Amino acid sequence: MTLPKTPSFRLDGKRAFVPGGSRGIGLGCAVALAEQGAHVVIAARSKDQVDDAAGAMADAGFSAEGMALDVTDLDAIKALMADGDFDVVCNSAGVARHMHSETVVPEDFDFVVSLNMKAAYFMAVEAARNMAKRGGGSVIQISSQMGHVGGIDRSVYCGTKHAVEGFNKALAIEWGAQSVRFNSICPTFVRTPLTAPTFANPERLAWIMDKIKLPRVGEVEDIMGAVAFLASDASALVTGTSILVDGGWTAG
């Protein structure tokens, strides 16, 4: 009897691009990919932040470099995707302006949509264009549980994340024949410096803990296994779907 063998999670010889990779969830994604052997290019608008993150990863023995980049600059993204020869793109760049729908003005709407939806969409398409020429690849969007449900003071944010879930499915269909895969990871509230004010608000914390079925909030490490899985051959037949790392939030 010949026993089946689990496909490898290793990414040796692969190149990965992680915008938003200088801190928080994005840094966790970058480290997860580097741990599996990928060379990781992290990007953010702040050169100091990407240099610090890439330096810390290099000091830990990983293959990493940083670049200053505004992902809403679509010409820069197109050029980078054409020349970067990335096997994996894990987009962790995103923004939120949480407010009641009654107070949202067009400037707030455009700001969130331009990064969370428009930049994410065109980055994915340009990545696919290059991956298709090279035999395939994996595009991972760091979406949100809010791409599957609604949330207080999050109408625009939820709209952009629902959009990511929708266009991922369409892109998976369009590019499947070229072996380019599109998936998302949808975290619940994860403990990072950016979410610290939310967790410090007793009312918001009570709301979060009531919704999460497991008895804790998310940590950056909770996202890392899903990233390694979706980037690797272990998920070779997985496309057009999402992994909900939400502690059971959306199950209820």
Does position 219 have pLDDT exceeding 90, yes or no? yes
Q: Which two tokens stand for residue 206?
A: 């009570």
pLDDT of 75: 97
pLDDT of 201: 92
Looking at every residue in the chain, the average pLDDT score rounds to 96
Helix axes of 155-175 and 106-113: crossing angle, nearest 10 degrees:
30
* Mean pLDDT along residues 203-214: 94
Q: Is 206 within a domain?
A: yes
Q: The pTM is what?
A: 0.95
The structural domain count of the chain equals 1
Neighbours of 247 (CB within 10 A): 22
pLDDT of 192: 93
Q: Is 84 within a domain?
A: yes
pLDDT of 226: 98
pLDDT of 5: 95
pLDDT digits (tens, 9 = 90+) for 35-79: 999 999 999 999 999 999 999 999 999 999 999 999 999 999 999
Handedness of CA 144, 149, 150, 152 (dihedral sign): negative
Does position 194 have pLDDT exceeding 90, yes or no? no
| Domain span including residue 224 | 15-251
What percent of the chain stands above pLDDT 70? 100
Does position 223 have pLDDT exceeding 90, yes or no? yes
Q: Is 119 within a domain?
A: yes
* Mean pLDDT along residues 175-202: 95
Does position 252 have pLDDT exceeding 90, yes or no? no
Alpha carbons 200 and 185: distance in angstroms, whole number? 25
pLDDT of 149: 96
Q: Is 43 within a domain?
A: yes
Where residue 25 sits, what CATH number does that domain have?
A: 3.40.50.720
Residues 6+ apart with CB under 8 A from 53: 21, 22, 23, 27, 30, 42, 64, 66
Q: Is 4 within a domain?
A: no
* Mean pLDDT along residues 173-198: 95
Q: Is 238 within a domain?
A: yes
Catalytic residues: 157
Q: Is 71 within a domain?
A: yes
SS3 (DSSP) at 69 = coil
Q: Is 100 within a domain?
A: yes
What percent of the chain stands above pLDDT 90? 94
* Mean pLDDT along residues 91-108: 93
* Mean pLDDT along residues 111-136: 97
pLDDT of 231: 98
pLDDT digits (tens, 9 = 90+) for 108-123: 999 999 999 999 999 9
241, with CB counted inside 10 A (0-12, 13-18, 19+), is middle
Does position 246 have pLDDT exceeding 90, yes or no? yes
